[in-house]
A and B are shown apart, each in its own frame.
Chain A
């Protein structure tokens, strides 16, 4: 199976620093690929380049064999779901309106969207009774579930998650991790997941991409990273994290 997303020699510079050096990466269909690394390593930049919130300085990004450009991104965004920390919900809209926003915008029928909404509530374990609430009336975990529903509404081929669980307390986080993993498996969803937590990364899969200072250092399972580190930094990163997660 060919890769769903393919980055070739993509780089991004800001005025004062290079956010991403020339980078190649492919995201396989139906797989969960984890981007991990310390703050400022370029993992979020990579996600934002794919959804075209920022333009690359060089290189090309392909989605399903087609290059992503400013002209094509409008259509492509409907085939990509994007979830950020806290869910990125619009505070003036109810949970329901947040989820249905895009479907209504492109004129999907009411029946179709209602069925899909019920389906998503079941999938994300979100109570239908809470749909009429506003974001401020929901807990952090509930908001994240609504954010996920919104991203999945149009059945996207690719799901981008940018540290979606970063702001949650450990118990809520653990239960959401479990639910997410089940959802990805059930939907056979292609996922690109950004986190800085190695335990979380290991839980979600064995295709882990470790980044540092705008470069990909190593790609492989947690076991490969631990046993055959490509760089002293890999060991350093793993050891630093293990100390925290095991206690």
Chain B
């Protein structure tokens, strides 16, 4: 829960773990050749434990706490930050791309087990066991959903409880997309309380606070441990009809995880009360440093050398390199596969229309939805592979279409001259048609490259890194400087790529076509 994003995934895999493992093994065998191709991008490591987290401050902090706890216990651990919504994390846990992540009991019952009734803690644990997933005892705080308003506004209108909202139908409501869709979200809440508000919009969690502050909206959803409540002088409306279920924080983990790792995780049980969690959240948002906030949990506020994290130039280099890796590798795939598809499409007919149709349809899928569709597939999951596959698909259309139209624009008389000369079909294509279409093909590749640089920022949603990382966390922290740390380099990169391809045009387009 708790993520501003909620992604509905079709065809969720409910099969038994053993079956799932067997199926995965088969897919792995099938995809060996592709693995060789991508091996350079995904070097094999000694299988560290992977902790996932959702895209909001508290989840980041809990993820960091778990990483530190496991590392202190001698278990090699990595933390993939801000991987998106509940379903993505749950799929990743089942698929083995991550080994553990922080979750809330209410979310487990409502969203994962899809059980409308109130389940007891033990019933939840038993149900999860059937998926090969274990659950720690509660960490010690309850982070339930809440509706919040500006304090001044609430006092002026005399609103204290959710029931009081019935008398104020004019209030503008801005909710996270996840809350709008949840089975314990807005719709049943409105029904239970008989709320009359008509103006309801979906808005990103972090942006929603800004909207609330400037009066664009009057009411939004929040979490009871949210640092923003204190910072922005908001009030939590009392849930007088006891609508929201309990949201006790726990860690979910794969039952197959090593006993050492499990026991290290379980040492966190009952050790974090609500007040402490709010403090850690506030610290994380103040310092923009989750590692630092997590270390407060262990060290009582002392800043160790390692907790400061890497320097900005180092981070920027890491983001940029990863960004180029994502965009470059996916572009290469788009070119290698897109040009032959464009050649086939240029011949028209059903197959040609099918190829262009497919590439166009892919373009219309929102990037977040495309990521969500790829994540449940065995080979992909939460990984750089998925980001590259999505970028590759987006990069396909400009290249396919420009290759096809560039070839189709060659005058018939010139095609016939090539045939009449007696050139073989391959020579005609390679030495005559493709060079003549080169300007169009290259401009397609250029479009793809620039689109990919922009879209690659979304890779951060599934923990694949890149310049989207600061953009996402900046969005989450409502911190413009952090957003710009990613957005400015990404824009510069796009300009650089544009310039690079302008130079490439001069090298690759035959001189006779440029005069």
A168 at the interface (CB under 8 A from B): no
Contact assessment for A136 and B417 in the assembled complex, using a CB-CB cutoff below 8 Å: no
Q: A105-B423, A134-B512, A135-B512 are in contact. Are A88 and B413 (CB under 8 A)?
A: yes
Q: Which residues of B contact A94 (CB under 8 A)?
A: 512
Report A-chain residues with C-beta under 8 Å of the C-beta of B418. Answer: 90
CB pair A92 B513 closer than 8 Å: yes
Give A85 to B417 CA distance when docked, in angstroms: 11
With contacts A92-B510, A94-B512, A136-B512 known, is A82 near B423, CB below 8 A?
no
Known A-B contacts A92-B436, A92-B510; the reply to A136 vs B420 at CB < 8 A is: no
- CB-CB under 8 A for A90 and B414, given A51-B420, A53-B419, A77-B421: yes
Q: How far is the CA of A136 from the CA of B417 in the complex (A)?
A: 17
Q: Which A residues are in CB contact (< 8 Å) with B432?
A: 90
Which residues from chain B contact A53 at a C-beta distance below 8 Å? 416, 419-420
Contact A101 B423 (CB under 8 A): yes
Q: Is the CB of B422 within 8 A of A74?
A: yes
List which A73-109 residues lie within 8 A (CB) of chain B. Answer: 74, 77-78, 80, 82, 84-86, 88-94, 101-102, 105
Q: How far is the CB of B429 from chain A (nearest CB, A)?
A: 13
B residues near A51, Cβ cutoff 8 Å: 420
Number of B positions contacting A (CB below 8 A): 22
A 129-155 to B, binary, CB cutoff 8 A, 1 in contact else 0: 000001111000000000000100000
- Quick one: which of B420, B510, B511, B515 has the most chain A CB within 10 A? B420
Closest residue of chain A to B417 (Cβ to Cβ) is A88
Q: Which of B413, B414, B422, B435 contacts A102 (CB 8 A)?
A: B422
Q: Give A39 to B115 CA distance when docked, in angstroms.
A: 79
Query: What is the minimal beta-carbon distance from A75 to any residue of chain B, in angstroms?
Result: 8
In the complex, chain A residues whose CB is within 8 Å of the CB of B435? 92
User: A90 and B423 in contact (CB under 8 A), knowing A82-B417, A136-B515?
Assistant: no
Chain A residues whose C-beta falls within 8 Å of the C-beta of B513 in the assembled complex: 91-92
- Inter-chain CA distance A51–B413, complex, in Å, is 14
Identify which of B416, B422, B431 contacts A78 (C-beta below 8 A). B422
Residue of B nearest to A85 (CB): B413
A77 and B515 form a contact (CB under 8 A)? no
CB of B232 within 8 Å of the partner chain: no
Q: Is B427 an interface residue (CB 8 A)?
A: yes
- Whether the Cβ atoms of B515 and A101 lie closer than 8 Å is no
When C-beta atoms are compared, the residue in chain A nearest to B421 turns out to be: A102
Question: Which residues of chain A come closer than 8 Å to B510, judged between CB atoms?
Answer: 92-93
Residues of B within 8 A of A86 (CB): 413
CA distance A94 to B515 in the complex (A): 12
What's the count of A-B pairs with C-beta under 8 Å? 63
Cβ distance A141 to chain B, nearest Cβ, rounded Å: 18
Interface positions, chain B 409-465, Cβ under 8 Å from A, are: 413-414, 416-424, 427, 431-432, 435-436, 438
| B436 touching A90, Cβ below 8 Å | yes
Task: Return chain B residues, CB-CB under 8 Å to A74.
Answer: 422, 424
Q: Report the Cα distance A150→B515, complex, angstroms.
A: 22
Q: How far is the CB of B437 from chain A (nearest CB, A)?
A: 10
Query: For window 243-278 of chain B, which residues contact chain A by CB distance below 8 Å?
Result: none
Q: Which of B416, B420, B422, B512 contacts A91 (CB 8 A)?
A: B512
Count chain B CB atoms within 10 A of each CB in A74, A90, A93 and give the residue with the most: A90
Contact A84 B413 (CB under 8 A): yes
CB of B417 within 8 A of CB of A84, answer yes
A133 to chain B, nearest CB (A): 9
Known: A74-B422, A102-B423. A93 touches B512 (CB 8 A): yes
- A73 to chain B: closest residue by CB: B422
Residues on the A chain within 8 Å of B416, using CB: 48, 53, 84, 88
Given contacts A92-B435, A105-B423, A105-B427, contact A134 B417 (CB under 8 A): no
A94–B69 CA distance with the chains assembled, in angstroms: 70
Q: Which residues of A contact B423 (CB under 8 A)?
A: 101-102, 105
A198 to B511, CA, bound (A): 40
In the complex, what residues of A have CB within 8 A of residue B420's CB? 51, 53, 77, 80, 82
Residue interface bits B474-515, CB-to-A below 8 A is 1, else 0? 000000000000000000000000000000000000111101
Binding site for B on A (CB under 8 A): 48, 51, 53, 74, 77-78, 80, 82, 84-86, 88-94, 101-102, 105, 134-137, 150
Q: Which positions in B face A, CB cutoff 8 Å? A: 413-414, 416-424, 427, 431-432, 435-436, 438, 510-513, 515
- Taking A82-B417, A92-B435 as given, write out 19 further A-B residue pairs in contact, using a Cβ cutoff of 8 Å, ordered by the A residue number: A74-B424, A77-B421, A77-B422, A90-B417, A90-B512, A91-B436, A91-B512, A91-B513, A92-B510, A92-B511, A92-B512, A101-B421, A101-B431, A102-B422, A105-B423, A105-B427, A134-B511, A137-B515, A150-B421
A/B interface sample: 16 pairs, CB < 8 A:
A53-B419, A78-B422, A84-B413, A84-B416, A85-B413, A89-B417, A90-B414, A90-B418, A90-B512, A92-B435, A92-B512, A101-B423, A105-B423, A134-B512, A135-B512, A136-B515
List the 9 shortest-distance A-B pairs measured between CB atoms, nearest first: A77-B422, A134-B512, A88-B417, A92-B510, A82-B420, A92-B512, A92-B435, A51-B420, A78-B422
